[in-house]
């Protein structure tokens, strides 16, 4: 009876939720955390989530088991709910140092002597020391939460077993803030609104070969330091699928033994804020719904609980092919057999295999009335995902080119021969799939800036679209000189950034072009 009473007393002392506890850091500071435990006393594997977006937001669906959809902390609620297993896992949600309830932990910290990954190390090891922990810790989260997982793993905490970084590449680099030499205006503005304060650094360093970018990449991109298995997840309308592919393949080539052997990759038809959700922009992908959470759950069960669930036999890479409504498998993205199909742009607006109609097409562009961003790899409040681009066809500063069916497995290149009347100008393009409804749905967009052209002389420029996989029913490409506010406008004065007072109009002739499409060898 005494033993039974003691057991009941211990069980009554067990709390499923521990709110606003402080996890001690090596510098004497503490990070605010909420802990969610299984209903019965015991020792459990743990999933650590480190967020700059307020632990309360991610904690709510964990606590209630409910969600309305949409995004929470850069991860869809449906993904969070699909991951949950409150019977068998502890979940720990931590506010980053300098954010929300951990804001004061940044006071007095010298950034040059501190790495955020060290905080992750300390969180992992603190979790492993708790009475409710069995010593096995995994990490999960998207976007900044995913970057923090890479940074944490690179510090090699002894009790970290595995990681699931979603919609995130490793490290910092120029291409996170510029594309084709053009400032990602809307994206960086949103980053500032979220509390990162990166716009001044990015604006002050507009060229890729500046020391700040070389230093940033060399000190933060460390795939060789990743020793644990990773499940990397991204989507075709995510911000940087190319960089995420590079991160994964470098981990497999250069990481530790377990990382090289057991890491896996999932690429779905998703944008940055709707991973695992069927509705994307104006399209629906029912067959990919919840696939991210299902994969993460199976991955954690295998590595944190030792469940023999067949995960070891899962393919290294699964990727969604748009319009085929299904998954394909491969050993790596780079290893997919491909051939390059070349298509030509004619003066009649047709995309053909050979003998394009000769001649040029021309438009005048006023940067004070730019062509608007209608979707793509953006953050709210800007439209995002695969959206209808039909209204571009009504603009006089946009040229439309249409062709037949193509299969895409990789990076499409568009080389244009143009004749501008300014030395500095931009070319933008939007790669679209015309649906059965007749609407051109965005697959990817691109931009490139030229700074030293000779006015009224022909020059060739090449735009590189982000990688994608699609079976296109009818190809359409919109060519212009703006896609704002996604890309900052060019004032055409030679200045690196927009200046409304000095901005000049642009007249440009498009004398021809070549599309290079990577098609699968099937």
pLDDT in tens, 320-340: 999 998 999 999 999 999 999
Task: Identify whether 485 is preceded by a cis peptide bond (ω within 30 of 0).
Answer: yes
Distance CA 292, CA 92 (A): 20
Arithmetic mean of pLDDT, 73-96: 84
Q: Do 201 and 229 share a domain, yes or no?
A: no
- What average pLDDT is seen over the chain? 94
Q: Could you report the per-residue pLDDT of 468-485, keeping only the tens digit for each?
A: 999 999 999 999 999 999
Residue 324 lies in a domain: yes
Q: How many independent structural domains does the chain possess?
A: 3
- Domain end among 282, 311, 330: 330
DSSP 450-474: ESSPPTTS-EEEEEEPPPEEEEESS
Looking at the DSSP bridge assignments, the partners of residue 496 are: none
Shared domain for 455 and 364, answered yes or no, is yes
Rounded to 10 degrees, what is the CA torsion of 82, 80, 25, 256? 60
Say if residue 487's pLDDT is above 80.
yes
| Same domain (yes/no): 242, 211 | no
The answer on pLDDT for 4 being more than 80 is no
Spatial separation of the C-alpha atoms in residues 414 and 369, rounded to whole Å: 25
Which CATH number do you get for residue 231? 3.40.50.1820
- How confident is the model over 414-443, as a mean pLDDT? 97
**Domain membership flag for residue 164:** yes
| Residue 401 · residue 350 · CB < 8 Å | yes
Task: Note whether residue 7 is domain-resident.
Answer: no
In this structure, is residue 3 part of a structural domain? no
Is residue 410 located within the same domain as residue 469? yes
Cα angle vertex 50, ends 47, 56, to 5°? 95
Reply yes or no on whether the pLDDT at 49 is more than 80: yes
- Please give the model's pTM, rounded to 2 decimal places: 0.95
Q: Is the pLDDT of residue 73 over 50?
A: no
Instruction: Average the pLDDT over 216-223 and give the result.
Output: 96
- Per DSSP, the three-state class of 514 is strand
Residue 75 has pLDDT above 80, yes or no: no
pLDDT mean over 286-294: 94
Q: How confident is the model at residue 12 (pLDDT cuts 50, 70, 90)?
A: low
253 and 302, same domain (yes or no): yes
Of 81-85, 311-315, 466-470, the poorest mean pLDDT is in 81-85
Q: 369 and 484 in contact (C-beta within 8 Å)?
A: no
Q: Do 52 and 201 reside in the same domain of the chain?
A: no
Q: Are residues 86 and 146 in the same domain?
A: yes
Domain assignment of residue 342, yes or no? yes
- Is the pLDDT at 119 greater than 90, yes or no? yes
**In this structure, are 194 and 245 located in the same domain?**
no
> Could you check whether the bond before residue 184 is cis, i.e. omega within 30 degrees of 0?
no
Does 366 lie in the same domain as 445? yes
Domain extent at residue 181: 172-220
Cβ atoms of 263 and 229 closer than 8 Å: yes
Calculate mean pLDDT across residues 507-522: 96
Looking at the domain assignment, is residue 162 inside a domain? yes
Residues 132 and 38: their CA atoms lie apart, in Å, by 9
Tell which residue, 115, 92, 230, 79, has the closest CA to residue 161: 230
Q: CA–CA separation, 464 vs 243, rounded Å?
A: 13
Do residues 319 and 419 both lie within one domain?
A: no
CA 487 to CA 489: how far, in whole Å? 6
Would residue 4 count as lying in a domain?
no
Residues 178-188: pLDDT tens digits?
Answer: 999 999 999 99
Residues 391 and 516 in one domain: yes
**Residues 376 and 443 occupy one common structural domain:** yes
Of 275, 298, 330, the residue that ends a domain is: 330
Answer for the pair 432, 376: CB distance below 8 angstroms, yes or no: no
Boundary (domain end) residue, out of 267, 295, 330: 330
pLDDT given for residue 80 in this prediction: 77
Structure tokens belonging to residue 137: 């810790």
Question: Residue 6: pLDDT above 50?
Answer: no
> Angle, nearest 10°, between helix axes 116-128 and 144-154?
70
Report the CATH number that the domain containing residue 501 is assigned in CATH.
Answer: 2.60.120.260
In a domain, 1, yes or no: no
């Amino acid at each position: 009876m005494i033993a039974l009473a003691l057991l009941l007393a211990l069980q009554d002392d067990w709390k499923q939720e521990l709110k606003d506890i402080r996890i001690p850091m090596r510098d004497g500071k503490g990070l605010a955390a909420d802990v969610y435990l299984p209903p019965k006393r015991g020792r459990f594997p743990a999933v650590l989530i480190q967020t700059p977006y307020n632990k309360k937001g991610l904690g709510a669906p964990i606590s209630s088991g409910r969600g309305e959809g949409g995004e929470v902390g850069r991860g869809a609620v449906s993904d969070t709910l699909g991951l949950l297993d409150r019977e068998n896992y502890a979940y720990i949600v931590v506010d980053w140092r300098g954010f929300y309830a951990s804001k004061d932990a940044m006071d007095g910290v010298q950034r040059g002597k501190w790495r955020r990954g060290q905080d992750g190390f300390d969180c992992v090891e603190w979790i492993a020391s708790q009475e409710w922990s069995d010593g096995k810790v995994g990490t999960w989260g998207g976007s900044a939460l995913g970057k923090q997982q890479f940074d944490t793993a690179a510090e090699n905490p002894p009790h970290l077993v595995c990681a699931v970084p979603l919609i995130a590449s490793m490290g910092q680099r120029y291409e996170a803030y510029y594309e084709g030499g053009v400032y990602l205006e809307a994206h960086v503005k949103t980053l500032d609104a979220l509390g990162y304060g990166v716009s001044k650094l990015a604006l002050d360093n507009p060229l890729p070969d500046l020391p700040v970018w070389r230093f940033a990449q060399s000190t933060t991109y460390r795939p060789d330091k990743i020793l644990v298995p990773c499940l990397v997840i991204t989507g075709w309308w995510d911000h940087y699928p190319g960089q995420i592919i590079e991160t994964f393949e470098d981990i497999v080539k250069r990481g530790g033994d377990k990382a090289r052997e057991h890491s896996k990759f999932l690429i779905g038809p998703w944008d940055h804020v709707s991973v695992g959700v069927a509705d994307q922009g104006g399209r629906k992908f029912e067959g990919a719904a919840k696939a991210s959470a299902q994969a993460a759950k199976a991955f954690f069960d295998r590595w944190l609980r030792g469940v023999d669930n067949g995960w070891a036999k899962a393919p290294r890479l699964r990727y969604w092919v748009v319009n085929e409504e299904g998954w394909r498998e491969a050993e790596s993205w780079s290893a997919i057999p491909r051939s390059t199909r070349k298509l030509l742009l004619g003066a009649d607006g047709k995309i053909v295999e050979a003998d394009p109609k000769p001649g040029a097409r021309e438009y005048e562009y006023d940067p004070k009335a730019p062509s608007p961003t209608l979707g793509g790899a953006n953050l709210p409040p800007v439209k995002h995902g695969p959206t209808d681009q039909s209204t571009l066809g009504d603009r006089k500063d946009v040229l439309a080119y249409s062709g037949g069916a193509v299969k895409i497995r990789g990076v499409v290149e568009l080389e244009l021969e143009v004749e501008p009347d300014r030395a500095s100008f931009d070319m933008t393009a939007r790669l679209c799939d015309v649906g059965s409804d007749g609407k051109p749905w965005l697959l990817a967009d691109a931009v490139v800036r030229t700074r030293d052209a000779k006015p009224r002389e022909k020059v060739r420029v090449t735009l590189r679209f982000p990688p994608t996989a699609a079976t296109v029913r009818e190809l359409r490409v919109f060519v212009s000189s703006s896609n704002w506010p996604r890309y900052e406008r060019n004032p055409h004065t030679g200045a690196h950034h927009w200046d409304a007072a000095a901005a000049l109009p642009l007249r440009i002739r498009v004398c021809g072009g070549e599309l290079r499409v990577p098609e699968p060898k099937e």
